[in-house]
Amino acid sequence: MDTLFFSTIADEAYHLTREKMNVLKRLGEKIVRVIRHHFRDDPVGRDSFFSSDLVTTDGAKHRTWETLSEAESLIVINGFEQLVRMKGSITKADIENVFKGNSWVYARWYSDKDFTLNLEEFNDKKADIKTLRLDEFIKKYNPIAYARFYENVLKDNRKQLQSFLSELHPTLDLKEVYKAAAGSPYLTQITRAFSELLRQNNYPIKI
């Protein structure tokens, strides 16, 4: 979900080909694409792959994210994560308690005419993320993204990458993984992001 708007990013936004974009233009429809927003105030962080520096949004909402400072962004992100960690389904009372003193966050959420549906979907996802494997979760809620990034990108290399990671454990020397990913720009991006995530969590990786 886009945490600032408490709404789901359309699955189609993960895979807009040039052909689809041309069709939407001819129909006069909005073209909305997934965007990674770097919310840190430090401009150097614009190239960061750390998940703690990024939020996922879409082109229609990105400008609103850009009006927020790092501190304001963290209020939204940390509060949202707190709601995810809570036991059971959440209610409006839970939201208002988490964002006490920052009513501007949930005021935006409540202003959406689909807030009730968004809350139901949030609670469904909250329950499923604890019971489903990650690939099952993505496939259920983002089938287009699943097909593009999981099936198509990794179908030929998944076993090879898994084998590499098993053999490299616990030192996690990723040199061979980068070699395997070299022929695919998507695999290169995924591997780079994966290595940054490992480094962020203090794994002794080598690149």
Report pLDDT for 30: 60
- Supply the range of the domain harboring residue 70: 11-145
180, 125: one domain: no
Q: What is the mean pLDDT of the chain?
A: 76
CA–CA separation, 187 vs 153, rounded Å? 7
CA torsion through residues 141, 143, 61, 188, sign? positive
CA dist 158 and 153 (Å) reads 9
- State mean pLDDT over 49-58: 80
> Is residue 61 domain-resident?
yes
| Residues 71, 15 share a domain | yes
- 44 and 122: one domain? yes
Query: Does residue 1 belong to any structural domain of this protein?
Result: no
DSSP calls for 131-143: TS-HHHHHHHH-H
Q: Could you check whether the bond before residue 170 is cis, i.e. omega within 30 degrees of 0?
A: yes
Mark which of 98, 113, 145 sits at the end of a domain.
145
Range of lowest pLDDT (55-59, 111-115, 175-179) = 175-179
| Distance set, CA 186 to CA 120, 139, 151, 183, 203 (Å) | 33, 18, 12, 9, 23
Q: Please classify residue 116 by burial: count the beta carbons closer than 10 Å to its beta carbon, then call 0-12 exposed, 13-18 middle and 19+ buried.
A: exposed
pLDDT for 147? 74
Between 64 and 146, whose confidence is greater? 64
pTM for this structure?
A: 0.67
Checking if the pLDDT of 102 tops 80, the result is yes
Number of structural domains found in the chain: 2
Cα dihedral 162→163→164→168 (10° resolution): 100
Residue 24 lies in a domain: yes
Q: Are residues 160 and 124 in the same domain?
A: no
